[in-house]
């Protein structure tokens, strides 16, 4: 295993990722993922998924730079997030210890509109008892409970929107 590598502030600034959280919004405090600590890729700070969720339905996609199906679905997830707007929080979580390779992959794919975090210890699937596979997508209700764990890639924006409608009841 490669040791966890953290990128410098210049790399973070160049990536221009959106901020992890809106400090004015109250955190979601219930459910299995609310208290999980993650590293925000935009500024390197740590926060909880509950603060990112802030009372909204949330989609959390777990990926790694070396996972080809993950790489294929990230653009579809970004497109769906733009379509959903503020109705759903959409977060991508890089699970590999190399943040540098994660940033390189996001840049190569043009992914710069998604809230991005690092969970290199893979606490999310552990807490949920989810299988150790990628890609893995969690659909979390506004109250913090997990509605569904999807263990297959979503190949298009419509696949993502359909899954959000089915599991979270939110339509674009």
What average pLDDT does the chain have?
89
Domains plus CATH for the chain? 38-168 (3.40.30.10)
79-105 pLDDT per residue, tens: 999 999 999 999 999 998 888 899 999
DSSP state of 139: E
**Cα gap 98→89, rounded to integer Å:** 25
Tokens matching residue 66: 């070396």
**Cα gap 59→91, rounded to integer Å:** 6
112-150 pLDDT per residue, tens: 999 999 887 778 878 877 888 999 999 999 999 999 999
Which of 147, 158, 165 lies closest to 31, judged by CA?
147
Q: Which residues are bridge partners to 93 per DSSP? A: 62, 117
Does residue 164 register a pLDDT over 80?
yes
Query: What are the backbone angles phi and psi of residue 135, rounded to the nearest 5°?
Result: -70, 155
């Amino acid at each position: 295993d490669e040791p966890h590598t953290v990128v410098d502030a210049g790399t973070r600034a160049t990536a221009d990722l959106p901020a992890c959280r809106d400090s004015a919004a109250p955190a979601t405090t219930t459910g299995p993922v609310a208290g999980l600590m993650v590293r925000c890729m935009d500024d390197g700070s740590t926060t909880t998924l509950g603060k990112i969720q802030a009372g909204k339905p949330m989609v959390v996609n777990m990926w790694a730079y070396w996972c080809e199906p993950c790489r294929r679905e990230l653009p579809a997830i970004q497109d769906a997030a733009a379509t959903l707007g503020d109705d759903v929080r959409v977060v991508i979580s890089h699970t590999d210890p190399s943040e540098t390779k994660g940033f390189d992959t996001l840049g190569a794919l043009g992914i710069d509109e998604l809230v991005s975090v690092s969970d290199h210890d893979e606490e999310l699937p552990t807490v949920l008892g989810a299988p150790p596979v990628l890609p893995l997508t969690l659909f979390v209700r506004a109250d913090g409970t997990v509605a569904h764990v999807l263990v297959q890639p979503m190949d298009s924006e419509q696949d993502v929107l359909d899954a959000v409608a089915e599991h979270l009841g939110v339509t674009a």
